[in-house]
């Protein structure tokens, strides 16, 4: 008699667990196909974006080639010389050419750097002048 009461008391719990398992099975049955559809949709969208980027890349490569061609035309030495002559420019004579010694440039840079380092040192140490 005691065991019959225990079985009757456990019946609602068993029904609830069976119902829970059934609901989980239905949700799993619905989510499986939905996941497959989402995956396929994502793959299709990615493919479309990839094709769009490939088209853009092709257009940009063509533009780069065109710009390189224009650059080579505009920077050609013969064209620059023609334009200079049409504006009255000439090659300088040897007396008009000045040579700057590399050491002078190096000394200038060293002085400039030392002034910068002094300023940084003064700024960090708080010495204002």
Smallest CA-to-CA distance from 129 within 114, 116, 118, 109 is with: 118
Residue pair 34/42 in contact by the 8 Å Cβ criterion = no
Residue pair 73/79 in contact by the 8 Å Cβ criterion = yes
pTM for the full predicted model? 0.44
Residues 70-125 have pLDDT tens digits of 999 998 989 989 999 999 988 888 888 887 766 656 666 666 667 767 777 777 77
Mean pLDDT score, 3-17: 67
Q: Which residue has the higher pLDDT, 21 or 15?
A: 21
Mean pLDDT score, 2-19: 68
Mean pLDDT score, 46-66: 96
Residue pair 92/99 in contact by the 8 Å Cβ criterion = no
């Amino acid at each position: 008699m005691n065991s019959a009461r225990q079985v009757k008391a456990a019946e609602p719990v068993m029904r609830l667990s069976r119902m829970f398992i059934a609901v989980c099975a239905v949700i799993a049955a619905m989510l499986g196909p939905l996941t497959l559809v989402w995956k396929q949709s994502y793959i299709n969208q990615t493919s479309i974006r990839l094709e769009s980027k490939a088209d853009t890349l092709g257009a940009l490569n063509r533009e780069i080639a065109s710009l390189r061609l224009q650059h080579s035309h505009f920077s050609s030495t013969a064209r620059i010389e023609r334009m200079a002559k049409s504006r009255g420019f000439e090659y300088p004579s040897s007396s008009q050419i000045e040579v700057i010694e590399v050491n002078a440039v190096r000394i200038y840079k060293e002085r400039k750097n030392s002034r910068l380092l002094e300023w940084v040192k003064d700024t960090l140490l708080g010495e204002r002048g």
